[in-house]
């Protein structure tokens, strides 16, 4: 499978934003309607669009669901939806709105029975987020320390049948400092399912390093919005490989 370069749309109050290391007090808002941004990423070759409801992640409920649904309706590539998905009903609603995949994080930490149920109900569509700071899993919009070891948690999710993991090194997210490639390589070696990387990607070189580490793809946010990375060129490079 071609290494996937996946643009992110992080929503807060219906706007496209990025947070620095998950800090809600350190927000950068970007111009443009989120739906139009999604259409632009699709036109540039994005194979998948990663949409995060930041308000939902923090509040534990779906907040920007109307905007998420509008994005799903406006593009033909799959949309991966994240943030505030805590119940099977939430996943069903996201599916009805057009989501192609669901990412669950906090709910996966708290309720493993829910994870197993979700995997059975939506085969191949569930992605569990392993959001780590200092090797420990964070929840609730990355504001609470679960006390769980990231690698141990990831292994437990695979045992439940989760088909894919998204690993974010929070210390690198939105910082434009490059990804923690060693941490991703360690997780790839430890689990038997595809791993998507997030956090710190700013260049083609970073993407090459993650691909060499065995990652299935990488989610990219701020680097695209600020022009540090050319999405079209990145997608085309990995399509040639």
Q: Which of 10, 55, 90, 169 is catalytic?
A: 10
Neighbours of 29 (CB within 10 A): 11
The verdict on whether 53 is a catalytic residue reads no
The verdict on whether 131 is a catalytic residue reads yes
Q: Which of 90, 131, 169, 173 is catalytic?
A: 131
Task: List active site positions.
Answer: 10, 131
């Amino acid at each position: 499978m071609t290494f996937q370069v996946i643009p992110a749309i992080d929503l807060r109050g219906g706007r496209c934003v990025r947070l620095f290391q998950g800090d809600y007090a350190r927000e950068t808002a970007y111009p443009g309607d989120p739906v139009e941004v999604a259409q632009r990423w699709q036109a540039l070759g994005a194979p998948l669009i990663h949409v995060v409801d930041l308000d939902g992640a923090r509040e534990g409920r779906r907040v920007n669901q109307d905007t998420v649904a509008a994005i799903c309706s406006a593009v033909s590539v799959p949309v991966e939806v994240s943030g505030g998905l805590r119940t099977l009903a939430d996943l069903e609603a996201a599916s009805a709105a057009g989501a192609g995949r669901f990412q669950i994080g906090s709910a996966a930490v708290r309720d493993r029975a829910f994870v197993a149920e979700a995997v059975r109900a939506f085969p191949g569509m569930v992605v569990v987020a392993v959001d780590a700071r200092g090797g420990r899993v964070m929840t609730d919009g990355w504001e609470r320390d679960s006390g769980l070891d990231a690698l141990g948690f990831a292994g437990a999710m695979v045992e439940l049948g989760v088909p894919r993991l998204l690993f974010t090194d929070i210390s690198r997210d939105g910082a434009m400092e490059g990804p923690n490639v060693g941490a991703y390589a360690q997780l790839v070696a430890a689990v038997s399912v595809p791993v998507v990387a997030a956090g710190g990607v700013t260049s083609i070189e970073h993407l090459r390093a993650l691909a060499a580490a065995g990652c299935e793809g990488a989610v990219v946010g701020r680097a695209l919005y600020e022009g540090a990375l050319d999405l079209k060129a990145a997608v085309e490079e990995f399509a040639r490989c």
